[in-house]
A and B are shown apart, each in its own frame.
Chain A
């Protein structure tokens, strides 16, 4: 079983739609959680950290459910520029600075 699992998609949505991605992690020692974004043929970049209480950054909302070991990302009012692959990332306690990446969920926003 992969340590971090995501639906690969693609999610095809119209502009203005709300879309949600889920991610599950298998290691209960996972302590820190993040969403990264990777554009086609580009490097990954940090989108946002995910806090236990949930957090919002503009149109993006991240939630963490430790009991069920899943993380979500909600994007409201999708823009064409949101088209990318969204990577769910965890840091496991005791692993130092090592980040474990999911394979990503691809989002395609159409006009």
Chain B
């Protein structure tokens, strides 16, 4: 029974393409996040949504657009992919005020060629 799931697990694409990554959580959490982990393993928050409302938006290029159709889903759309976008993208969720217990999805490994 997967708590936080992401699709796809792997994504290989050409520069300039547009791609989406989907995330779903069945934990009933109100808050969801997107993180990027680069080749140096540095995990950095990109966005956070609370009950479909954007609450954290780090300095991420506007080619990245999160969308939350409901509080159980937070998708990430990336336009005009660049080589530097290659990374592992993790979705996570938590309850507000319980940020220490963030449950992460398995990650999506994106490779831009």
A residues near B (Cβ < 8 Å) are: 32, 34, 42-46, 49, 85, 87, 89, 91, 96-101, 103-104
Contact = CB atoms under 8 A, between A and B. Distances in A.
B41 A104 contact: yes
A97 B105 contact: no
Contacts, number: 52
A99 B102 contact: yes
Contacts of B96: 97
- Size band of the interface chain B makes with A: 20 to 34
B97 interface: yes
Contacts of B90: 43-44
B43 A32 contact: no
Contacts of A42: 106-107
B85 to A, nearest CB: 19
Contacts of B102: 46, 99
Contacts of B101: 46
Given A43-B105, A44-B90, A98-B56, A87 B43 contact: yes
B89 to A, nearest CB: 11
A48 to B, nearest CB: 9
B43 A44 contact: yes
7 contacts: A42-B106, A42-B107, A43-B104, A44-B104, A97-B96, A103-B41, A104-B41
